[in-house]
Amino acid sequence: EIVLTQSPATLSLSPGETATLSCRASQSVRNYLAWYQQKPGQAPRLLIYDASKRATGIPARFSGSGSGTDFTLTISSLEPEDFALYYCQQRNNWPPPLTFGGGTRLEIK
């Protein structure tokens, strides 16, 4: 099973700043990596798929990069609504199993 490790566990920033979230895979997942945002009491929402493709309706301030084992989600000019939990998820060698990272909490400084 491929393990996804997200860092940092918590990121404290102010609105207007840029957030850089990391996801590292225990083995190559090629570019088959997605990012999700989750707010309290809500389901995850797809932000980025296949490492760098923005999902429908996702603002341009969200961008993804990386391939193989190292991936980054960048959120530029943070808006108040961006403070949430973020998860990465891989779908390499699918099905199954696919796996999720443990999450990064983005909080207001």
Which residues sit at the interface with another protein, rule CB under 8 A?
32, 34, 36, 42-46, 49-50, 55-56, 87, 89, 91, 94-103
Comparison of 66 and 103: residue with beta carbon closer to another protein: 103
Whole-angstrom Cα distance, residue 31 to residue 92? 8
Comparison of 65 and 77: residue with beta carbon closer to another protein: 65
What is the DSSP track for 16-46?
TS-EEEEEEESS--TT-EEEEEE-TTS--EE
Query: For residue 54, what are the β-bridge partners?
Result: 48
We find the least distance from the C-beta atom of residue 65 to another protein, in angstroms, to be 17
We find the least distance from the C-beta atom of residue 13 to another protein, in angstroms, to be 23
Comparison of 45 and 61: residue with beta carbon closer to another protein: 45
Whole-angstrom Cα distance, residue 94 to residue 45? 21
